[in-house]
Amino acid sequence: MMQICDSYSQKHSLFNAMNRFIGAVNNMDQTVMVPSLLRDVPLLLDELDAGGGGGAELAPQLPPAAPGAYFSRRDMYSHYVLLKSIRNDIEWGVVQPSAGEEGSGRKKDKLGGADISRGLGEGDSLEEEDLEKQFHYHLSGLHSVLSKLTRKANVLTNRYKQEIGFSNWGH
């Protein structure tokens, strides 16, 4: 017989993190009636750190000038497009490059070209314990990233409302 998970465990599930992110992006998408108004409007890193109801422990640790501080150098329109793109990737899947497009058997991430296969060679085999550690490592990272992206979508939505003069719309 199946046991019902308590609400605390469900709150921290990947499924719920994805639903919160998708819901925040859907809310952002429904609120932003004229996306072009977001062009050239900076969304400051300190707004992302402080806003959206998330904890400070999830705030980016990179200084604004750091090469990896993706959100610090973009306008609100770029954030909007990125968040919608990530939502679509979650809902519809990511198109995998064909074998000819990848120069080697190792997969590289989009941002820095870092090896995400964690040192696996072609002939190496993994023990189940290693797979479990990798799964938990990536699950934890994905949950953290989704929480940050959810906060960014909420901050963008609230900032858009301020920019057009409707800061008190349905909170």
Q: What is the pLDDT of residues 95-112, one digit of tens each?
A: 777 666 554 444 444 444
Residue 129 inside a domain? The answer is no
pLDDT recorded at residue 126:
53
pLDDT recorded at residue 158:
93
pLDDT recorded at residue 67:
41
Residue 29 inside a domain? The answer is no
Count of C-beta atoms within a 10 Å radius of residue 73: 13
Burial 6-40 (b: 16+ CB within 10 A, else e): eeeeeeeeeeebbebbbebbeebbebbeeeeebee
Distance, CA of 159 to CA of 52 (rounded, Å): 10
**φ and ψ at 21, to 5 degrees?**
-65, -50
- Taking each continuous run of H as one helix and of E as one strand, the counts in the chain are 5, 0
The domain in which residue 55 lies consists of 37-93+134-164
The token pair that represents 137 in the structure block? 């490592």
The number of distinct structural domains making up the chain is 1
Residue 146 inside a domain? The answer is yes
Residue 89 inside a domain? The answer is yes
Residue 103 inside a domain? The answer is no
**Beta carbons of 53 and 47 less than 8 angstroms apart:** no
pLDDT recorded at residue 125:
58
Residues of the chain with pLDDT under 50: 1-2, 52-72, 103-115, 120, 122-123
**Beta carbons of 154 and 25 less than 8 angstroms apart:** no
Residue 125 inside a domain? The answer is no
For CA atoms 88, 16, 13, 61, give the dihedral sign.
Answer: positive
Residue 56 DSSP one-character state: G
Distance, CA of 100 to CA of 105 (rounded, Å): 10
Count of C-beta atoms within a 10 Å radius of residue 87: 21
Distance, CA of 66 to CA of 110 (rounded, Å): 17
pLDDT recorded at residue 48:
57
Residue 42 inside a domain? The answer is yes
Please give the model's pTM, rounded to 2 decimal places: 0.64
Residue 43 inside a domain? The answer is yes
Instruction: Give the end-to-end CA distance of the chain in Å, rounded to a whole number.
Output: 40
pLDDT recorded at residue 167:
53
